[in-house]
Structure 1
Amino acid sequence: MFVVTLTYRTDLTQIDEALQDHVAWLDQQYADGVFIASGPRVPRVGGVILARNLSREDLERRLATDPFHQRGLADYAVTEFVPARTAEGFAHLK
């Protein structure tokens, strides 16, 4: 499993201009079964994505196709981890 942390490199005006394309890109990752959660950070300085069922190399390739990345609007930090424990109802994440 991976936690991807996006940090915006520009003002929110440029982020909002690219947001529709970014959301379409997110939709494709969900349809492919690799993203399980995503959303903005608070305060809105970037976002967070939870991904699974793919290699780090595949994840990196997918992140490179994100419109935020292609337009130079965000930096990405990828952290891989292995869920050892989960709350009730989330055992499928292990």
Structure 2
Amino acid sequence: MFIVLLKFSNNKSQAGQYLSGHKDWINQGFDDGVFLLVGSLQPSSGGGILAHNTSLAELQERVNADPFVAEDIVAAEIIEVAPSSADARLQFLMN
């Protein structure tokens, strides 16, 4: 499982130009069964993604394809988490 942090860079003001492509990229992540949750980092500092069903290399490739990353709107950090226990509702993450 992975946590992806997308923190705004100095080019944050250009985000509007790439927002549609960024949203398409997010939707593709959900369609592919990789993204579990996407949301904003508060207060307005970027975004966060919970991902699974992928390898680190595949996720890095996917993240690099995000228009926000490619255009330096955000800087991406990927954190790998090896779950050792989970609430019953999240047992599917233990595989």
Calculate the TM-score normalised by the size of structure 1.
0.91
- The equivalent residue for 1:61 is 61
Shift in Å, 1:11: 5.6
Rounded to whole Å, the distance in 2 between the matches of 1:7 and 1:59 is: 17
For 1:76 and 1:54, locate their aligned partners in 2 and report how far apart those are by CA, in whole Å: 17
Matched, 1:70 2:70: yes
Return 5+ residue gaps in structure 1 as ranges.
none
Per-residue deviation at 1:10? 3.0
Give the match for residue 31 of structure 1. 31
**Match of 2:39, SS?**
strand
Looking at structure 2, the residues matched to 11 and 73 of structure 1 have their Cα atoms a distance apart, in angstroms, of: 5
Give me the whole-angstrom Cα distance separating, in 2, the residues matched to 1:90 and 1:59: 21
**SS of 2:86's equivalent?**
coil
CA positional deviation for 1:17: 3.0
The percentage of counterpart residues that share the same residue type is 32
Q: Distance in 1 between matches of 2:39 and 2:46?
A: 9
- Tell me, what secondary structure is at the counterpart of 2:14? helix
For residues 71 and 11 of structure 1, do their structure 2 counterparts lie closer, same or farther at Cα, with a shift above 3 Å needed? Answer: closer
More displaced stretch, 33-42 vs 10-19: 10-19
In structure 2, the gaps of 5 or more residues are none
In the alignment of these two chains, the number of paired residues is 94
Aligned to 1:85: 85
Paired with 1:72 and 1:79, the residues of 2 have a C-alpha distance of 19
Q: Which amino acid aligns with 1:57?
A: A
Query: Match of 2:89, SS?
Result: coil
For 2:36, give the aligned amino acid: I
